[in-house]
Amino acid sequence: MAAILPVFSRAFAFVMIIVVGYVLKCRGFFHAKDFFMISKIVINITLPSAIISNFSKITMEKSLLLMCVIGLLCNVFLVLLGYVINLGKTKEDKAFDMVNLSGYNVGNFTMPFVQSFLGPVGFAATSLFDAGNAVMCTGITYSLASAVMGTGNKITIKAVLRKLFSSVPFDSYVVMTTLTILNVKLPGVIIDFTGTVGGANAFLALLMLGIGFEVNMDKGKVARIIKLLALRYGTAVLFSLAFFFLMPFSLEVRQALAILSFGPVSSVSPAFTGNLGGDVELASAVNSLSIVSSIISITIALIIIL
């Protein structure tokens, strides 16, 4: 019981930050544009700072680089699942499930949990997983869905690389992974600065989720939402068990992978759904409800594995 209480306490604190963001938005303290402003701060300042700070505390094991491959393969599996379960259905259904069943919101959601409950090695494993995840989320998944829709959008290495390297967190992953492998240490003044700034990442990321949280649900779409979330989190249970019990990594890395499995759907999924001409309202509902599902799932997972 003594070990469980800190998990519940911290998880409750996370939930309350999200609730505060949502309530303040409903009361007019925050507005829609504030979500994008805070998002820019998180993506371009606090998350990269947290990455730099945490990577500076570890000695990189070459085996950790496999996290990139795992992050990519988890996405590939979910994209294929989204396609296969819609065999015989419309191309719109296939494309929608490919985009909204896959992807992980790591930087804005799972990272704060890892940052609070695991050490630098777990954070590094999470960051590298997100690097592989980003390769799919920021380009390849959308391109595959576009191909299914027959819109003529083709996957090009140049376009994917341009998208990836325009992301400050991804650039931070690449630079810090390289420096850590080469055992190059950054000056103490930089580490002190990024440590202070990165400490704000969890709060701002969760507050941002509260501001962006929205569920406008048509009753006729409830069954579709339940189906998608059941598939997503049923798969997450299998991934989590396999990662924790079968992977030949240290305990902290296996804990990180177990938590990552339950992360919510990528935050860019509704935007990509809109670009494909899909049901943005349904995609937004799936995205928001996946956050609720992930809070519950990750809290339970933490209680079990810590």
Residue 98 makes CB contacts below 8 A (sequence gap 6+) with 79, 82, 83, 141, 144, 145, 148
pLDDT in tens, 38-52: 888 888 899 899 889
pLDDT in tens, 164-180: 787 788 888 889 888 98
pLDDT value at position 155? 59
Q: What is the mean pLDDT of residues 5-24?
A: 86
Q: What is the mean pLDDT of residues 146-172?
A: 75
Q: How far apart are CA 300 and CA 213, in angstroms?
A: 22
Q: What is the mean pLDDT of residues 153-174?
A: 75
The tokens describing 235, both together, are 């798969």
The mean pLDDT value of the chain amounts to: 87
Q: Are residues 78 and 70 in contact, defined by beta-carbon separation less than 8 angstroms?
A: no
Q: Which of 236-245 are b and which e, b meaning 16 or more Cβ less than 10 Å from the residue's Cβ? A: beebbeebbe
Q: What is the mean pLDDT of residues 226-253?
A: 96
Q: What is the largest CA-CA distance in the chain?
A: 59
Q: What is the mean pLDDT of residues 274-289?
A: 85
pLDDT value at position 152? 55
Q: What's the gap between Cα 41 and its chain centre?
A: 17
Please state which of the ranges 84-88, 124-128, 193-197, 279-283 shows the lowest mean pLDDT.
279-283
Q: Is 249 in a helix, a strand, or coil?
A: coil
Q: How far apart are CA 99 and CA 232, in angstroms?
A: 12
DSSP string, 108-129: IIIHHHHHHHS-HHHHHHHHHH
For the chain, how many residues are written? 306
pLDDT in tens, 74-112: 999 999 999 999 999 999 999 999 999 999 999 888 988
Going by the DSSP 8-state scheme, the letter that residue 101 receives in this structure is S
Q: How far apart are CA 109 and CA 294, in angstroms?
A: 9
Q: Residue 233: pLDDT band by 50, 70, 90 thresholds?
A: very high
Sign of CA dihedral 285, 286, 289, 290: negative
Rounded percentage of the chain residues whose pLDDT exceeds 90: 41
Domain 4-214+222-305 top-level CATH class: mainly alpha
Q: How far apart are CA 211 and CA 25, in angstroms?
A: 6
Residue 74: phi and psi, rounded to 5, are -60, -40
> Is the pLDDT confidence value at 282 over 70?
yes
The vertex-249 CA angle with 12 and 198, nearest 5°, equals 45
pLDDT value at position 2? 47
Going by the DSSP 8-state scheme, the letter that residue 65 receives in this structure is G
> Is the pLDDT confidence value at 237 over 80?
yes
Q: How far apart are CA 261 and CA 281, in angstroms?
A: 25
Q: Residue 151: pLDDT band by 50, 70, 90 thresholds?
A: low
Q: Which of 155-165 are b and which e, b meaning 16 or more Cβ less than 10 Å from the residue's Cβ? A: eeeeebeebbe
Domain boundaries, the chain: 4-214+222-305
**Tokens 């059941």 found at:** 230
pLDDT value at position 145? 87
Give 306 or 179, the one with higher predicted confidence.
179
Residue 287's nearest CA partner among 198, 212, 179 is 212
